[in-house]
Chain A
Amino acid sequence: MQSPSVFNIVVFGTQSEFDLTKVLPEGSVIQNVNYDIDKLAEGEVPPGELVICFPPSDKSISMLELAQLLRMGYPSSLIFYLVLRREDFEKKRIIKNGFDNAFLLPWESSELQQSLGEAALYSRLPELKDYAPVKVLDLVAEKVLDFGTKVYLPVNNKLVTIGRSGEPLSGDKLRMLNEGSYGTVFVHKSELSNFHDYTKKVLSEMGQIQSETERQEKMRVAVRELVSDLFVDDVQENTFGKSKAIVEELSKTVSAMMKEQYPVIMKKMESLLNEEYSFYRHLSNVSTYAMIFSMAMGLEKPQEVAVAGVLHDVGKTALPLEVANTEESQMSPHALEAYHKHPQLTIDVIKMKRVPLHERITKAILQHHERCDGSGYPAGLNGSRICVEAKILAIADEFDYLTTLKPGQTKMTPKDALDHMIKENGANPVVMKLDVNILVTLREVLIEGKLTKKEDKNAKQSPF
């Protein structure tokens, strides 16, 4: 089958540490170009719908000059700046200098992949610019909609109408959309305000504050902003106040979920499972799960555990590239030793940024890889010495791993994931890694609905 059209990407500069081909959209053709300042200044550049550039080895050219040179050659193309070194990554400065977007690799590779995919899509089907993506999850079945909905069919490169304005969407149709790869539908921008009014109405009928799309989007933006803020070394940017504000914003968005009943929460949890792995998504998922699990365990201030969840792995970005680029199972003993420092690195990064965090949060982060049988790291603590928040974080971490889409593997449902963890850890208390008492309680509360939230408050503490 012939692809509808070719998407030309011009790549300036070379590097060997990141395999760009892994994230390229289908049907794209890349052309590698060396930085030649004179040629650039003369405007002698190969044509491309999108431009990717790595930092030039010639440091005499400033980022502003580079942006200017590229913008002259590509007045209307997107220009992305890719960085593999944390020290080179000052996102706001890069964007201020005129680049359309900047990505820190490998951490933001799935965000890069998404942005490249979107750019290819929009270039292939220009009319898409008049539409906005909307999560199927926000649509209610059998309700008359005053806006039309369309899906994108890659095979014929077309937007196809699935629901007209003034008609309801059937439950079957919605289910099909949710189960297929169409988690998103498109609404014409002229009808977008109708969509917003609709979600507001539906939400107020359901007694909710914000839609799932809004919540997920807010989380994603907040996590990304928080993480990229941690890279800014400029004291002037005053990370203290800003990080605190982001953490507070996060607390608010996750707390909004607390007001809901478990079946609603579980439904939302399932919606998170449809996505592929991304570093930021992992952070925000673990945060959400840690909060839900803390609630189910009747812990006080579950949003503090959520904050620990959102931060737990950010120290990984301080790891050397060769460690960051390797799967944990493939690491050499030396790399593994470095990798095991990431909980402490997270604490270091936070401290360096003077983010004010409660000791309960830092402790949970530091201990999130400790295991009940003492086989964990960094301290090899025993179950009795690991705090309950860290145990919950460890379960949330594993839960996200089991329920996330991985290439060539089937993902588990929440119930299967909990059952799997109970089976793995319940057989022999001597080699129990995750706290099985917590797991069993979670299964009772979340899957079987045995305890209500109120009763949870009096729930027994885990003996470990």
Chain B
Amino acid sequence: MFAPTTRVLIVDDMSTMRKIVGKTCKELGFSDLTEAADGTLAWEALQNAPAPIGLIISDWNMPNCTGIDLLKRVRADSRFKGVPFILVTAEAEQHQVIEAVKAGVDQYVVKPFTKDDLKTKLESVYKKYAKS
């Protein structure tokens, strides 16, 4: 897996969802978690983090700045473009998936997901980055 010290940024406008994702991350061994309620706040958290963020798990549908907007912004910035990015969507619409892949997403998770679903996606992202 990622190192337990990897700093994870969890972005979702629903606090229960942040809680759920956070809890699953903890169970998978991550202890350094940061939360943000939308893309704009996530962008701020990225810049202001005391140590660099090593993984972003973001919801798609959020007010202000959506998950795909955040992804595009992250990928366009030389400081963050290499950070693994997982999108969480309410439904896997074909065109959404294509847009996300084009924008450089590493994995996407469809709600409602189980702990195992999230774990599988995290592992595949890990494998991808371990290779390169």
Complex contact A68–B91 (CB within 8 A):
no
* Interface status of A96 (Cβ within 8 A of chain B): yes
Complex contact A68–B112 (CB within 8 A):
yes
Number of interface residues of A (CB under 8 A): 18
Mark the stretch among A46-54, A57-65, A342-350 that contacts chain B: A57-65
Which one, B23, B24, B90, B114, contacts A64 given CB within 8 A? B90
Which one, A37, A41, A43, A67, contacts B112 given CB within 8 A? A67
* Interface status of B116 (Cβ within 8 A of chain A): yes
Complex contact B111–A72 (CB within 8 A):
no
* Interface status of A98 (Cβ within 8 A of chain B): yes
Complex contact B115–A69 (CB within 8 A):
no
Interface of chain A, main secondary structure: helix
Instruction: Say whether, besides A37-B16, A62-B14, A75 and B111 are in contact (CB < 8 Å).
Output: no
Residues of B within 8 Å of A61, CB to CB, are 16
* Interface status of B76 (Cβ within 8 A of chain A): no
Residues of A within 8 Å of B116, CB to CB, are 75
Tell me the A86-141 residues at the B interface (CB within 8 Å). 96-98
* Interface status of B79 (Cβ within 8 A of chain A): no
* Interface status of B101 (Cβ within 8 A of chain A): no
Residues of B within 8 Å of A96, CB to CB, are 91
Complex contact A75–B115 (CB within 8 A):
yes
* Interface status of A42 (Cβ within 8 A of chain B): yes
* Interface status of A244 (Cβ within 8 A of chain B): no
Residues of B within 8 Å of A42, CB to CB, are 23
Complex contact B114–A72 (CB within 8 A):
yes
B105-132 Cβ-contact flags toward A at 8 Å (1 or 0): 0000001111110000000000000000
* Interface status of A188 (Cβ within 8 A of chain B): no
Residues of A within 8 Å of B19, CB to CB, are 41
Residues of A within 8 Å of B49, CB to CB, are none
How many angstroms from the CA of A196 to the CA of B24 in the assembled complex?
45
Complex contact B113–A71 (CB within 8 A):
yes
How many angstroms from the CA of A239 to the CA of B61 in the assembled complex?
27
Give min CB distance, A425 to chain B, whole Å. Answer: 55
Q: Closest 3 interchain pairs by CB?
A: A71-B112, A98-B112, A75-B114
With A64-B90, A64-B111 already in contact, 8 other A-B pairs whose C-beta atoms are closer than 8 Å: A41-B16, A41-B23, A61-B16, A65-B17, A67-B111, A68-B111, A72-B24, A72-B114
